[in-house]
Amino acid sequence: MFSLHLSGRKGYQQKLFYNLLVLLALISTVAVSITWANHTSQAGGNLSLLTNLLTTENVRNTVAVAGGESTGSATETRTDPMAPREEDITIIGVGDVMLGHRVAPFISKYGISYPFATVREILQGADITFCNLEAPFGTKGQPVRDKEYTFRVDPVAVGSLTYGGIDVVSLANNHSLDYGPEALMETLSLLDKAQIAYAGAGPDLSAARRPALFSARGIKVAFLAYSNTYPIEFYATRSRPGTAAGEDGFIAQDVKEASRISDLVVVSFHWSSEYRTTPKDYQIAKARIAIDNGADLVIGHHPHVLQGFEVYRGKLIAYSLGNFVFGAYNPNYKDSLILKVIADRGGPKRAVLIPISVDNFKHHFQPRILTGDEAGRVLRDVKKLSEGLGTRVSIEGDTGVIYFEKA
């Protein structure tokens, strides 16, 4: 049984309602300041009169500007000469997100908006925004034995994903069961309540292989996710909760089925080795199995660093997007990208690569958009990695662009 999520630059009513509250607070604050200078008042208002406006795009766009969350990246997004056409959709993919461990004190001190405050406007500018969620949310369960790193995140941090505009996450990774099946099931419940879709894990194998479905601007998009990392004990079975194993037969069957009910299929893989900058042979093989069976976009995670991009049969493979917000200090975690794919029903039309810094020693778990020499350095590295895969990345200002030739 499938659940369809409606989206449309950006769609969830819960997120729009949250943003509307922010806008009302701002309006109330300004009115109070003008009328009663030197006094304070708690913002209020009859929200029920405004709920019919929640589905309009103008409300969300107004909040994004009025909310004061933008950095230099906001201007770039609004003036982007390659902005999608009305009939196109935009899918954003980012790297690993783990909102516990070292980032937890920052969220506790500064609030749920902290991790995504610097990039929120870009993420919310897409129809669908996707990340790899690298740890369970909750309070239940016990850490699994004999595993070096086990993570579990305070449920309050689910609000960080909502604030940041995350619509769908992959749970197919080597941390989703760090606190056992009980914590995984609690995570699914918390994501359901937050109206954040997920793929790649579930109460049994069938559920773990089930796609998350979206409809954006009349285009149906399916998300599938698979893990090719240890421990294999995390893999779901017919009777045990867990992650979807990236077996070739599963990939081919699931993508074929998803392509029958969707216009576009996105497949996420957790694979490769940490800090490896080139894909292994099996990554290339599995990505091509996905595309050969109907996938339009493949997004990889797990190395914590960037790997190259490959255009294969007119579709895109991002072998690793590195980290995004990952709650650990590590000198290897420095450079990453926001991947913005503009697509129509026929597949990707172009991909825009926005370089970011994820150096937690400098930025303390807030990704920063890079410009100038630093942007150029990251883009040149990605260009070289992608050339090794037969793919050209054009550097245009502070972004990289991959163009797709339509038959």
List the domain boundaries for the chain: 11-68, 79-403
Look at residue 386 and tell me whether its pLDDT is greater than 60.
yes
What's the rounded Cα separation, in Å, for the pair 56 and 66? 16
Mean pLDDT of 229-256: 98
Q: Looking up tokens 């590295």, which residue turns up?
A: 381
Residues 6+ apart with CB under 8 A from 340: 90, 91, 92, 122, 126, 351, 352, 353, 354
Higher-confidence position of 264 and 48: 264
Which tokens sit at 53?
A: 């406006």
Name the least confident of 11-20, 294-303, 368-377: 11-20
Residues 6+ apart with CB under 8 A from 117: 69, 366
Look at residue 29 and tell me whether its pLDDT is greater than 90.
no
Look at residue 303 and tell me whether its pLDDT is greater than 80.
yes
State residue 284's pLDDT score. 98
Distance of CA 262 to the CA centre of its chain: 20
Q: Quick one: pLDDT band at residue 355, thresholds 50, 70, 90?
A: very high
For residue range 162-184, what is the model confidence (pLDDT) as tens digits? 999 999 999 999 999 999 999 99
Phi-psi category of residue 306: left, alpha or beta, with phi > 0 → left and psi -120 to 50 → alpha? beta
Cβ pair 132, 170 in contact under 8 A: yes
Look at residue 400 and tell me whether its pLDDT is greater than 50.
yes
Q: Quick one: pLDDT band at residue 373, thresholds 50, 70, 90?
A: very high
List C-alpha distances in Å: 51 to 8, 18, 64, 385.
Answer: 18, 11, 18, 48
DSSP type of residue 286: H
DSSP type of residue 164: H
| Residues shown for the chain | 407
Look at residue 362 and tell me whether its pLDDT is greater than 80.
yes
Mean pLDDT of 186-211: 98
- pLDDT > 70: what percent of the chain? 80
Which tokens sit at 340?
A: 């913005």
**Cα torsion 73, 76, 78, 83: sign:** negative
Strand positions, DSSP E, 99-163: 128-133
Burial grade of 275 (CB within 10 A; 0-12, 13-18, 19 or more): exposed
Q: Looking up tokens 């766009």, which residue turns up?
A: 61
Residues 6+ apart with CB under 8 A from 46: none
Q: Quick one: pLDDT band at residue 10, thresholds 50, 70, 90?
A: low
Q: Quick one: pLDDT band at residue 17, thresholds 50, 70, 90?
A: very low
Look at residue 160 and tell me whether its pLDDT is greater than 90.
yes
State residue 324's pLDDT score. 98
State residue 6's pLDDT score. 73
Name the 3-class secondary structure at 182. Answer: helix
- Choose among 152, 153, 127, 129: nearest CA to 142: 152
Look at residue 255 and tell me whether its pLDDT is greater than 60.
yes
State residue 2's pLDDT score. 66
For residue range 109-151, what is the model confidence (pLDDT) as tens digits? 999 999 999 999 999 999 999 999 999 999 999 999 999 999 9
State residue 180's pLDDT score. 98
What's the rounded Cα separation, in Å, for the pair 306 and 323? 8
CATH number of 79-403: 3.60.21.10
What's the rounded Cα separation, in Å, for the pair 116 and 18? 15
State residue 384's pLDDT score. 98
For residue range 60-86, what is the model confidence (pLDDT) as tens digits? 332 232 233 333 333 333 345 456 677
- pLDDT > 90: what percent of the chain? 78
State residue 87's pLDDT score. 82
State residue 397's pLDDT score. 98
Look at residue 396 and tell me whether its pLDDT is greater than 60.
yes
What's the rounded Cα separation, in Å, for the pair 262 and 227? 22
- Choose among 312, 219, 297, 217: nearest CA to 255: 297
Exposure b/e, 13-23, CB count within 10 A at least 16 = b = eebbeebbebb
State residue 52's pLDDT score. 31
Look at residue 405 and tell me whether its pLDDT is greater than 90.
no
- Secondary structure, 3-state, 246-286: CCHHHHHHHHHHHHHHCCEEEEEEECCCCCCCCCCHHHHHH
**Cα torsion 218, 164, 130, 394: sign:** positive
